[in-house]
Amino acid sequence: MEGVSTANGPVIVWLHGDSLSPTDAALSAHPQAPALFVFDRPFLSSHAIAFTRLAFMYGGVRDVAAARPGLTELRVGSVSAELAAFATEHGAAELHVTENPTPEFGSILSGVRERCPGLRVVIYPAERLSSYSGQVNKFFGFWNKVQSEVLGGGELFRDQDAPRPQPESERRPRDHRSDRNRRR
């Protein structure tokens, strides 16, 4: 079925806290593939998080599950352990996910890789307001670099159509293994 496998074999999708929409890049590239969201038991055991925040996120998972044709599962546990188990259950050759800037993102993927050494991890770029990816230090330096892009050309923008998200087919997913040095 379309979106379930690549040339390498079956795909699963990791749905995380920054990607709770069926329009998420990794999810929409594989609408039929099994997807998993995990409430992080070790994190929640050691950090106070109000129930209302978790219920809000649940609403995101619920809408994703209802909107896509593929299986969407919700679990509670260690994220990397549950992802590894999910990959094994579905005979996955690849784990697809959209980029997340948190330190936990890299450590969770490392944990999955330790448990499933043969699993290829493919990371999709997060949808962003600007294309700038250089060093940032102060907001105003950043703003000077991006404002014409963000504002859409200032005065020139007034009569133009708004920029549109890049079509899925033009997005270039990245193989995490080829880009290890970029993230700490």
Partner 1 sequence: MSAPTDLPTRIPTDLTDEQLPEVLGRSLAGLYSGEARLPARPGGRNAALKALGAFTGKDYGARNHLLSPVSRLSMYLRHGMISPLEVAQVVRAGSRRSDREEFLRQLAWREFFWLVLRQRGAAVLSNLEEPKYRAQWSPDLPADVREARTGLPCADAWVTHLTEDGYMHNHERMWFAAYLIHWRKVDWRAGYAFFREHLLDGDLASNALSWQWVASTFSGKPYMMNQENIAKYSAGKWCDGCTAQCPFKGSYEQLQEKLFGWKA
By CB under 8 A, residue 52 contacts partner 1: yes
By CB under 8 A, residue 44 contacts partner 1: yes
Cα distance between residue 55 and residue 146, in whole Å: 35
By CB under 8 A, residue 139 contacts partner 1: yes
CA-nearest of 112, 113, 121, 129 to 165 is 129
Cα distance between residue 89 and residue 17, in whole Å: 23
Touching partner 1, residues 6-35 (CB under 8 A) = 17-24
CA-CA-CA-CA torsion sign (26, 28, 32, 36): positive
DSSP label of 158: G
By CB under 8 A, residue 151 contacts partner 1: yes
Judged by CB under 8 A, which of 10, 32, 57, 110 binds partner 1?
Answer: 57
CB nearer to partner 1: give 1 or 162.
Answer: 162
Touching partner 1, residues 78-107 (CB under 8 A) = 78, 81-82, 98, 101-103
Judged by CB under 8 A, which of 2, 66, 172, 178 binds partner 1?
Answer: 66
CB nearer to partner 1: give 5 or 104.
Answer: 104
Other Cβ atoms within 10 Å of 134 Cβ, number:
6
- β strands within 69-180, DSSP E: 72-77, 94-98, 120-124, 174-175
Touching partner 1, residues 103-132 (CB under 8 A) = 103, 127-130, 132
Helices 79-89 and 103-115, axial angle in degrees (round to 10): 40
Judged by CB under 8 A, which of 10, 65, 173, 174 binds partner 1?
Answer: 65
By CB under 8 A, residue 163 contacts partner 1: yes
* R_g over Cα of the chain: 18
By CB under 8 A, residue 136 contacts partner 1: yes
Other Cβ atoms within 10 Å of 12 Cβ, number:
28
Number of residues located near partner 1, criterion CB under 8 A: 72
CB nearer to partner 1: give 3 or 22.
Answer: 22
